[in-house]
Amino acid sequence: MIRSVIIIGAGNVGLHLGRAVSGLGLSSLKVFARRIKSGYDKSVLKFLTSDPVVFSEKADLVILAVNDDSISAVCSQLEDRGQIVVHTSGSTPMNVLAKFSRHGVLYPLQTFSASGKLDYRTVPFFTEANGPGVLQELKKFASLISGSVTEAGTDKRLKLHISAVFVSNFVNHMYSVAEEICREEDIDFNVLMPLIKETVSKIAIMHPKQAQTGPAVRNDRTTISKHLEALKSDLQKQELYRLLSESIHQKNQKNEKL
């Protein structure tokens, strides 16, 4: 049973995991940050440490919440003492942790920001492990945090991550572009919020392809041309508009052929 946890990394994922785990009443929790910046509240400071001694401390579970590129470097600083070592990356194979006799993955499918609170019960966790015993322990532990824990191998996790990039990072970029267009016209971006929310509500009740509206899916060349013309002072936005419209149109044609 997992009673003590060390989290390496105090970025968005590390800190949010720290907050989630701190509510579980374990015997010990430490979150390692290379530097402890100012501005943390008390609830975070109580488990935050910048003392590299944690790398040699004993814990039931060590969670690597560092950038994907840093996982190997952190691994080389850790010794295998029979603790479970997991990473939290969507796009890194489990076997980068092969030097540890008990290892796995704990991938939370969510967008974490420094600010903003989250209900961790609703965050889906995906687990993988190098043996059934480790898997069971990880599942049990993740279930203490979240109501949705699923096993997913390296390939499936990669596809989950890519899907997440589309529905979160790329979607947010669309918001960002629209915000810029609104700002240039002195339009309050908030006027788009009912539309943004309705767009999400629709896919809860219908297939995204059925929910597709707008000039591109109608192949309304007149409107598309007007929009491209209006964006001509910003070639990047214009190109983005053109390609996304083209992609919607092509997808729609493909569906019609089926």
Residues between 232 and 251 with contacts to its own copies, criterion CB under 8 A: 236, 239-241, 243-244, 247-248, 250-251
Does position 160 interact with its own copies (CB under 8 A)? The reply is yes
Residue 58 makes CB contacts below 8 A (sequence gap 6+) with: 4, 81, 83
Residue with tokens 């687990």: 127
Q: Which of 46, 187, 219, 253 binds its own copies (CB under 8 A)?
A: 187
Does position 45 interact with its own copies (CB under 8 A)? The reply is no
- The 3 state secondary structure assigned to 206-254 is CCHHHHCCCHHHHCCHHHHHHHHHHCCCCHHHHHHHHHHHHHHHHHHHH
Q: Which is nearer to its own copies, 22 or 150 (CB)?
A: 150
Does position 212 interact with its own copies (CB under 8 A)? The reply is yes
Does position 34 interact with its own copies (CB under 8 A)? The reply is no
C-beta of 82: minimal distance to its own copies in Å?
A: 30
C-beta of 79: minimal distance to its own copies in Å?
A: 26
Does position 148 interact with its own copies (CB under 8 A)? The reply is yes
Does position 73 interact with its own copies (CB under 8 A)? The reply is no
Pair 35, 50: CB distance under 8 Å? yes
Q: Which is nearer to its own copies, 77 or 168 (CB)?
A: 168
Q: Which of 39, 82, 116, 132 binds its own copies (CB under 8 A)?
A: 116
Q: Which is nearer to its own copies, 79 or 179 (CB)?
A: 179
Does position 218 interact with its own copies (CB under 8 A)? The reply is yes
Q: Which of 53, 69, 77, 133 binds its own copies (CB under 8 A)?
A: 69
Question: Total residues contacting its own copies (rule CB under 8 A)?
Answer: 93
Q: 125-129 and 48-49 as β-strands: parallel, antiparallel, unpaired?
A: unpaired
Window 121 to 140, contacts with its own copies (CB under 8 A): 122-124
Does position 111 interact with its own copies (CB under 8 A)? The reply is yes
Does position 96 interact with its own copies (CB under 8 A)? The reply is no
Does position 53 interact with its own copies (CB under 8 A)? The reply is no
Q: Which is nearer to its own copies, 82 or 166 (CB)?
A: 166
C-beta of 64: minimal distance to its own copies in Å?
A: 15
Q: Which of 47, 110, 145, 219 binds its own copies (CB under 8 A)?
A: 110
